[in-house]
DNA sequence: GTCTATACGGCGATAGAC
DNA sequence: GTCTATCGCCGTATAGAC
């Protein structure tokens, strides 16, 4: 039975999330968040201990909801080719729908690398053990080229994530509108999977 | 005839550059810079208008010196294969030697995306007209696969740059020391060029 | 437990004297 | 060009009302 009116905590989270998305972590102040949520400034420190913890809370919530699914693909029991295609495709979809994620991720990573490294949700997302083992098995069976699994994994996430980090640059260079950038991202699904599959010797 | 004693401005730049490299953009304060340079705080605002402008000044100086060389490779009159190999190799070398570049790039990108887009040095670095034209010529001549030149260029920079952005994550996952990460980056030279060359159908 | 009012210390930036 | 003094904002902490 959902409440009709948002609790103070919910209002706070909603306002902070929206502002962080709109302006980025550094460009929104705590007083601005409180004002938008229509609450007293101190309540931010009552419910969360600090602005940074508030951000982490929001970040983890978003990451966890998306990361779980992506991780399942990586750990699933499907062919390497299908896995790479599915992973890149759905990862790109996630980033198209949540432009906030990349900016958040890089901002926190830059400001406080130890924190990102320690975050459970990130460790989960970037744990590619099953995927690496699968690559090694395929190599032993001679079905793919000899490659460093870690390098391959880094290549995939680089190809998927980085274009979203430089979205503004890409849009400016090509005179893309937002929807044109999304189209460009859609086309990347094919580009990225092909590039990775070619490299390991599939297709 | 070089001066033996540094001018105030030079002391300021030297101190700021060093701190900036050591600690990253967000983690150095203006009072710390002034103290290290042995000058009064206000002189920072006298010579540069703000901390951000000071850091931009330093960033542009480093970027321009490196970007010019990378841009020359991209615009040079050598074979596509050699060009891709040389560009990725030397780009990775630049980032190994100047971790500051990626850190600053990401900091500004998050804080002020319009600024990155407006920076002349960045615009120069990311202008790939000659390279794109060369790709198109090779396609017309049937020597490489049909590909979107913009996609290829974005792939190259993603594969080269992003691993440096997530350096801490990579080091943590693999228990890399700093020198092991550099070795990993050295190996990426071959990985990245192979991956791109395979994709466009060379080699 | 929930909320208000207010204060603290640090930051980047600036006005104005010399 | 250089310095002192100070401003306004920020994130945070706390005393105390309901």
Segment B105-134, tens digit of pLDDT: 887 877 777 888 888 888 888 888 999 999
Question: In the complex, which nucleotide's C1' lies nearest to the CA atom of residue A53?
Answer: D11
pLDDT in tens, B137-196: 999 999 999 999 999 999 999 999 999 999 999 999 999 999 999 999 999 999 999 999
Query: From the first residue on, what is the mean pLDDT of each consecutive set of 10 residues in chain A (203 residues)?
Result: 71 94 89 95 96 91 88 95 98 91 82 79 85 97 97 98 94 96 98 98 89
Probe site for chain B from A195, A200, A202 (most B CB atoms < 10 A): A195
In which residue are the tokens 């990225």 written?
A: A192
Are the C-beta atoms of A28 and A20 separated by less than 8 Å? yes
Distance A19 CA to C16 C1' (A): 39
Provide the Cα torsion A104, A105, A111, A117; round to 10°: 150
Residues 5-24 of B with CB under 8 A from A: 24
d(CA B44, CA B40): 8
The reply to whether A45 Cβ lies less than 7 angstroms from strand D is: yes
**Angstrom distance, B34 CA to C9 C1':** 20
Does any strand D atom come closer than 7 Å to the Cβ of B42? Answer: yes
Q: Which long-range contacts (CB under 8 A, 24 or more apart) does B32-36 make?
A: none
Cβ distance of B169 and A117 shorter than 8 Å: yes
Closest CA to B113 of A185, A164, A95: A164
The whole-angstrom separation of Cα B131 and Cα B149 is 8
Check pLDDT > 90 for residue B97. Answer: yes
On whether the CB atoms of residues B159 and B198 are closer than 8 A, the answer is no
Query: Which residue in A155, A163, A196 is closest to B154 by CB distance?
Result: A163
**What pLDDT score does A107 carry?**
78
Amino acid B2: pLDDT: 52
Q: How many pairs of residues across A and B have Cβ atoms under 8 Å apart?
A: 127
The residue lying closest to nucleotide D9, measuring its CA against C1', is A29
The Cα–Cα gap between A97 and B194 comes to 32
B199 inside 8 A of chain A by CB: yes
Query: A56 with A94: CB under 8 angstroms?
Result: no
For A125-183, what is each residue's pLDDT tens digit?
888 899 999 999 999 999 999 999 999 999 999 999 999 999 999 999 999 999 999 99
Residue bearing tokens 């991209």: B74
Q: Could you tell me the sign of the dihedral formed by the alpha carbons of A144, A145, A150, A155, in that order?
A: negative
**For residue A1, what pLDDT is reported?**
45
Helices A178-200, A80-97: crossing angle, 10 deg rounding: 160
- Report how far residue B152's alpha carbon sits from residue A181's, in angstroms, rounded to the nearest whole number: 15
pLDDT at B23 over 90: no
| Cβ contacts of A55 on chain B, cutoff 8 Å | none
Closest chain B residue by Cα to residue A160: B158
Name which of A117, A158, A189 to mutate to probe chain B: the one with the most chain B Cβ atoms within 10 A of its Cβ: A158
3-state secondary structure B101-113: HHHHHHHHHHHCH
CA A31/CA A37 separation, integer angstroms: 10
Question: Cβ neighbours of residue B88 under 8 Å, at least 6 residues apart?
Answer: B156, B159, B160, B189, B192, B193, B196
Beta carbons of B148 and A110 less than 8 Å apart: no
Instruction: Report in angstroms the alpha-carbon separations of B44 from B20, B50, B51, B52.
Output: 15, 7, 8, 11
Give me the half-sphere count of Cα atoms (radius 13 Å) on the Cβ side of residue B88. 29
* CB-based contact B168 A27, cutoff 8 Å: no
Per-residue pLDDT tens digits for B190-202? 999 999 999 999 9
Q: What pLDDT score was predicted for residue B4?
A: 55
Tell if the CB–CB gap between B166 and A187 is shorter than 8 Å: no
Is residue A163 within 8 A of residue A169, CB to CB? The reply is no
* CB-count exposure of residue A169 (10 Å: 0-12, 13-18, 19+): buried
Q: Residues 6 or more apart from A173 whose CB is under 8 A from it?
A: B126, B127, B150
How far apart CA B154 and CA B147 sit, in angstroms, is 12
Protein-to-nucleotide distance from the CA of B113 to the C1' of C9, whole angstroms: 31
Q: What is the DSSP letter of A7?
A: P
Tell me, rounded to whole angstroms, the distance of Cα A129 from its chain centroid. Answer: 19
């Amino acid at each position: 039975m959902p409440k009709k009116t948002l609790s103070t905590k919910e209002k706070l989270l909603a306002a902070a999330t929206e502002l962080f998305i709109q302006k980025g972590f550094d460009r929104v102040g705590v007083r601005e968040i409180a004002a938008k949520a229509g609450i007293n400034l101190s309540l931010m420190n009552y419910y969360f201990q600090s602005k940074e913890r508030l951000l982490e809370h929001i970040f983890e919530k978003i990451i966890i909801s998306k990361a779980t699914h992506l991780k399942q693909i990586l750990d699933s029991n499907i062919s390497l080719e299908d896995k790479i295609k599915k992973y890149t495709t759905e990862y790109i979809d996630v980033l198209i729908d949540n432009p906030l994620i990349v900016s958040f991720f890089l901002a926190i990573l830059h400001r406080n690398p130890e924190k990102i490294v320690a975050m459970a949700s990130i460790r989960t997302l970037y744990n590619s053990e099953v995927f690496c083992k699968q690559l090694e098995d395929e190599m032993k069976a001679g079905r793919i080229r000899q490659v460093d699994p870690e390098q391959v994994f880094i290549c995939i996430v680089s190809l998927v994530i980085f274009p979203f980090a430089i979205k503004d640059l890409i849009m400016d260079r090509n005179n893309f509108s937002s929807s044109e950038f999304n189209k460009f991202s859609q086309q990347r699904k094919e580009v990225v999977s092909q590039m990775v599959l070619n490299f390991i010797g599939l297709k």
